[in-house]
Amino acid sequence: MSEHNEQFLKQNPLAIVNILRDLQRAGTVLRVSWSSHQFISRILDASQERLVIDFGSQGGDNEAARAAKNLTMVAETNGAKIEFSVEQMQVADFQGLPAFVMPTPPSLWFIQRREFFRIPAPLHPAYYGVATLPDKTALRFRLVDLSLGGMGALLDAPPPECLQCGMELKEIELDMGEWGRFRFDVQLLAISERKMVDRKNETVVVPRLSFRFLHITPALERSLQRIIFSLEREARERANKVR
């Protein structure tokens, strides 16, 4: 993790625990990776002595993680990226279920920079995308927010059963109107719900998906950066008109 600027490094034990507990309270997705493997987890408990995270959804990943060394853990929340590493994890019982337990890291990176800033997508015109699921059916969604690291999407119907956190979707297509059409690979980090007010002024709950971009090319990254800058500028202009 030495590519990060030292100003983002947190080494105060109390600050580290507070950051980890914030992730726990928010139920933030934690990506655990090592070698060529990874799985999605969440923090179950954090103290100055130990960190407890949930098992992954796949038994094979959990078995591999049990024997793995030098694991990296990454979470993104509110425009910040939290990253730290642990030497190894042990399996222990936590509230009646198996979990991974490890010493609380002595340091972590808390990165607040523009690359992870999420800008809400406009309602008019709305931007839509489509992904091909493993069963070859099409999953259509509406873009709700965008960053260089990923995007949020809303569905018009309940998510299909084959849609699982941690799965990768190849060559999804996002139509951003005047900006053009983009194709990229993503990983599904979370499936949640969002409350919205419909045209009848009634509150409805719709499924929300959180994606992480995979294998972004420099050209695509520059395009996304231009779009994010433009959307942010338009949002500021609309806010100034309301004042």
Q: Where is 19: in which H helix or E strand?
A: helix 13-26
pLDDT at 117: 66
Q: Are 85 and 73 in contact (CB under 8 A)?
A: yes
Q: Which two tokens stand for residue 17?
A: 């625990």
* Dihedral over Cα of 14, 16, 22, 25: its sign: negative
Backbone angles phi, psi at 104, to 5 degrees: -60, 130
Confidence of residue 76 (pLDDT cuts 50, 70, 90): confident
CATH code at 116-242: 2.40.10.220
Confidence of residue 1 (pLDDT cuts 50, 70, 90): very low
CATH code at 6-112: 2.30.110.10
Confidence of residue 41 (pLDDT cuts 50, 70, 90): very high
**What CA–CA distance (Å, rounded) separates 58 from 122?**
37
Backbone angles phi, psi at 48, to 5 degrees: -70, -15
Instruction: Look up the pTM and report it.
Output: 0.55
pLDDT at 2: 44
- In the chain, CATH 2.40.10.220 covers 116-242
Confidence of residue 113 (pLDDT cuts 50, 70, 90): low
Report, in this order, helix, strand and coil percent for the chain, each rounded to 5: 25, 45, 30
